[in-house]
Amino acid sequence: MCGIVGYVGSRNSVPLLIEGLKRLEYRGYDSAGVAVLNGHGLETRRAEGKIAKLEQVLAVTPAEGGLGIGHTRWATHGPPAERNAHPHLSNDGTIALVHNGIIENYAELKQGLKAQGYVFHSDTDTEVLTNLVQELYGGRLEDAVLAALERGEGTYGIAVVSTRDPGKIVAARKGSPLLVGLGDGEHFIASDASAILAHTREVVYLNDGDLAVVRKDGYRVFDMKATTLDRPVAKIDWELAQIERGGYDHFMLKEIFEQPQTLENTMRGRVVLEDGMSKLGGINLSHDELLTIDQVIITACGTSWHSALIGEMLIEDLARIPVEVEYASEFRYRNPIVTPNTLCIVISQSGETADTLAAMREAKRRGAKTLGLVNVVGSTIAREDDGGIYLHAGPEIGVASTKAFTSQVVALALLALKLGRKRQLSSVRGREIAQALLDLPAQVKQILDRAPEIEALAERYKDAQNFLYLGRGYNFPTALEGALKLKEISYIHAEGYPAAEMKHGPIALIDENMPVVFIAPHDAVFDKVVSNIQEVKARRGRIICLTSREEHMLEGLVDHEIRIPPTLDMLTPVLASVPLQLLAYYIAVKRGANVDQPRNLAKSVTVE
């Protein structure tokens, strides 16, 4: 899986493909390649590693042509290597194919093709699909692709070209995002709109089961029965500057510093201060439907799962509705209790996370109402949910999520406020929460103004081998998120834990070499956290304490203090996560890590 881009038109496709692949670098990848169709046949160039390596290959052996496809690969079948890089060629050299996803029955298909004399040069499932298209070719490329996909089982976003049927790209999707970009005398395909934003703002999103034939003068979308479909044209409403670094050293740092604005964007037009209410027009639930909800399930992965844990406490606290948080990857493989009065909230920055999408579909199948919290307009979850809340955080390029996380927490707070005010939450309490939400952007700005202090702290701890993050209540998920950020980008082992549970195991790890980060704002459990700090201090742990005001109880206990502004207990994760993001960022930079593209990770995980 990872990134796909294609072009058909009058221009040389290679520079456009390379440009598009660079726009997709943020998704994470381990190799890259292009295939170009011209009057001389089908030419491919591939390289393991970064796109710069592919550019070096192209500098030595140039290729050009008005039709081409490109790919960045994140390994699933076979290690990162040039032989496993896409595009893959068929045995006869007439067909090139790029693929995101997994063909689950590839071994069976491969065995059958081998019996017919096909030879394989890679470890991938994609090469199997490519040769299957060759085997089934009968005069039109789209017919062969359709027939191959009928035999294949699994997920895919593919683009296919052939010398035997030139002038067209055949694209198809099932479980992996793909879109068609519309131009004047030229057309594009891509797995992400950012790849083609410099050339068009009009796109057609393909649904699962859709295929498309794309030519320079037009396109056609059809289903697996070859019936032509009418898919709407969507407009991309964000600017090219939003996917560029804008003077920052890394996208991650830019996105951390964007949070005052992104939080405002998430709340804009949604907070009704005078009534202590939130206005969420996109949830598509009537007053009566909101009142009949008697159970909430929140399902997500990674960072989004951490925001879900905060959402669980928010909804139970304000609306008094029981909430369960599920790993999306586990939800559909057990037998969850779901009724027509269940609201299933699915959280995904990209709106394309395969496990989360599958969990949403399972919840809908069982009769639940579904509500998506996503950041990408037109994403699959946004199109398939019953209602949703867009985060409006703008494109997030850094693989390690920052601004999307804080926007998710705020969106969940807005939802909890709405559910609470529909029930027993008073207008006085509602106004207090609404005002605290509106104060968050300025408070985040105060924290960001002190970034140099956190950078100096990072210098002290950049060589640590392990970190422990501890918090209680609303800040246990914050501890999990802080640890995840550090391990993702710096490759330091880090663990988040409930502070009180530390003595039931992790305390064995604590010595003078173990930095321990406590999230200890002056909240309802502050005194209890101080007791946990004392336990670490007694074992000579090095204590970094994140707190919200000067506290005599901390004197002599902590080695370093990070101050955040005071807010309501339920909103401390928004403020507390920002210095933890900065700490992880600065430590990773000082260790020489690739902050925006950490090893082995992908921004949008579109395979199970």
Catalytic residues: 2, 603
| HSE, side-chain direction, 13 A CA sphere, residue 171 | 35
The helix/strand/coil state of 58 is: helix
Q: What values do phi and psi take at 30, rounded to 5? A: -130, -5
245 CB burial (10 A radius; 0-12, 13-18, 19+): middle
Question: Closest by alpha carbon to 132, among 124, 118, 607, 222?
Answer: 118
Question: Closest by alpha carbon to 17, among 144, 138, 161, 225?
Answer: 161
Q: CA of 526: how far to CAs of 157, 434, 499, 500, 549, in Å? A: 50, 24, 11, 12, 11
Single-letter amino acid, residue 277: M
DSSP secondary-structure letter at 502?
G
Between 427-448 and 259-267, two packed helices, what is the crossing angle to 10 degrees?
A: 160
Question: Closest by alpha carbon to 34, among 87, 80, 79, 93?
Answer: 87
CB atoms within 10 A of CB 54: 24
Contact 600, 79 (CB under 8 A): no
Pairing state between β 228-229 and 218-222: antiparallel
d(CA 110, CA 132): 9
Contact 408, 573 (CB under 8 A): no
DSSP 106-167: HHHHHHHHHHTT----SS-HHHHHHHHHHHH-SS-HHHHHHHHHHH--B-EEEEEEETTSTT
Residues 6 or more apart from 40 whose CB is under 8 A from it? Answer: none
Strand partners, 204: 180
d(CA 477, CA 402): 14
